[in-house]
């Protein structure tokens, strides 16, 4: 068969586009504020991971611009060779302090962080345990490691323990979980997870892409939220959510970070994060420390939208974070809802299988600290109108 035959036969997108229901790759012509410009008109942004609203913070933008002027637009090489700047090292020190670990290592993307960390630490004789709802980057990192992979039912620590007990002795055991699950906003019970670690010789890694800036003291993440940071071995984080940039990092014991630093192919063979991105993250960390009221506003907005949607009769699942899923059921209904919401002035994201189980398609909403009450009122009215039209709410 011609290698490209599957590409020619791929008609799903064309069918959705022909029906006027395509809701991906929408062009935004403004910064990621509570309102963005699409097609020349403002819409309320409920589809961004800009939880603390820092992508448009003056200090963040000023530091990014200044770094570009000083260091140029890029590093022209990998961290391993010529691409490590003094600001990369400074940021790593600040990140380690922020999540209260010995050391940290900055990668060019969050996806690469998981690929590099997992595939470098676990090998073909080791076993990795992952939640069935873990992020795709965790799954791909497991594949690259050649380790045995055991998936346990979502949030089911009883099932995890069964798998651990059945495995017996293994050279190394690692469990990797999302701190906050990106589609439905539920939180992994890390406090209960760490109880299993000593019994089974298990190392614990938490992907805190959606927990940093959201949970814990000053937004320091899921492990600190549960008070078990000293019992979590590794914390992974991204810059593309609360930290207002692009990139990722791994934090943990200094000797582990040193190993990954000298072994991880996604780090060694990728260009270093550009100066503007690095400086933006450093500035974002300063803002988080100096403006704690942002975290409070984020949670005030979260509660307001949750209460409004639940009051209408929407099913929000088990979310406990600023990620608020509106569960609608069928994939096509998710597309129809998102298109209708945009017509009503609200940007939200459709999430369909396989990102969710079949029959559990949802509208993914996420809050920012910078949303004002008027934004939430208008968004709720749009959800009321669309929900009634499609029979989702009375």
Does the active-site annotation cover 182? yes
Q: Report the run of H or E that residue 112 belongs to, with start and end.
A: helix 110-121
Find tokens 């997108």 and name the residue.
13
Q: Cβ distance 136 to 276 under 8 Å? A: no
Alpha carbon distance 385, 383 (integer Å): 5
Report the half-sphere exposure of 327 (CA within 13 A, side-chain side): 17
Other CB atoms within a 10 A radius of the CB of residue 356 amount to: 20
CB 277 within 8 A of CB 64: yes
Q: Is 6 a catalytic residue?
A: no
Catalytic pick among 135, 173, 210, 336: 210
Find the catalytic residue in 88, 101, 173, 241.
Answer: 241
* Of 146, 140, 152, residue with least CA distance to 125: 146
Class of residue 232 by CB neighbours under 10 A (exposed 0-12, middle 13-18, buried 19+): buried
CA torsion sign for 261, 264, 265, 270 is negative
Known active-site residue 94: no
Please tell me which residue in 108, 137, 145, 182 is annotated as part of the active site: 182
Q: Are 329 and 350 in contact (CB under 8 A)?
A: no
Reference 333, options 359, 310, 354; nearest CA is 359
Catalytic residues: 182, 210, 241
């Amino acid at each position: 068969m011609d290698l490209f035959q599957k590409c020619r036969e791929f008609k799903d997108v064309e069918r959705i586009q022909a029906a006027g229901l395509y809701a991906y790759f929408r062009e935004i012509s403004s910064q990621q504020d509570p309102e963005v410009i699409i097609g020349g008109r403002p819409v309320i942004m409920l589809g961004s991971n800009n939880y603390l609203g820092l992508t448009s913070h003056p200090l963040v933008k000023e530091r990014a611009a200044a770094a570009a002027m000083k260091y140029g637009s890029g590093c022209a090489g990998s961290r391993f060779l010529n691409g490590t700047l003094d600001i990369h090292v400074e940021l790593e020190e600040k990140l380690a302090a922020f999540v209260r670990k010995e050391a940290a290592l900055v990668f060019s993307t969050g996806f690469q962080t998981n690929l590099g960390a997992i595939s470098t630490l676990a090998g073909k004789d080791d076993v990795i345990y992952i939640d069935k709802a873990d992020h795709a980057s965790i799954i791909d990192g497991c594949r690259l490691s050649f380790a045995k992979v055991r998936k346990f039912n979502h949030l089911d620590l009883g099932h995890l323990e069964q798998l651990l007990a059945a495995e017996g002795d293994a050279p190394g055991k690692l469990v990797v979980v999302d701190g906050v699950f990106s589609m439905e906003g539920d939180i992994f019970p890390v406090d209960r997870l760490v109880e299993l670690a000593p019994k089974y010789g298990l190392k614990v890694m938490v992907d805190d892409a959606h927990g940093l800036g959201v949970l814990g003291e000053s937004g320091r993440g899921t492990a600190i939220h549960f008070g078990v940071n000293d019992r979590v071995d590794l914390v992974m984080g991204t810059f593309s959510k609360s930290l207002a940039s692009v990139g990722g990092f791994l934090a943990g014991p200094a000797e582990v970070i040193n190993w990954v630093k000298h072994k991880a192919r996604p780090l060694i063979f990728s260009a270093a994060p550009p100066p503007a991105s690095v400086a933006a993250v450093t500035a974002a960390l300063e803002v988080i420390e100096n403006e704690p009221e942002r975290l409070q506003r984020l949670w005030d907005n979260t509660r307001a939208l949750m209460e409004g949607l639940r009051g209408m009769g929407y099913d929000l699942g088990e979310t406990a974070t600023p990620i608020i899923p509106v569960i609608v059921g069928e994939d096509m209904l998710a597309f129809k809802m998102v298109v209708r919401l945009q017509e009503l002035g609200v940007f939200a994201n459709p999430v369909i299988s396989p990102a969710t189980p079949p029959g559990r398609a949802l509208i993914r909403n996420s809050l920012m600290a910078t949303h004002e009450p008027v934004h939430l009122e208008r968004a709720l009215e749009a959800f009321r109108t669309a929900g009634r039209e499609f029979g989702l709410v009375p």
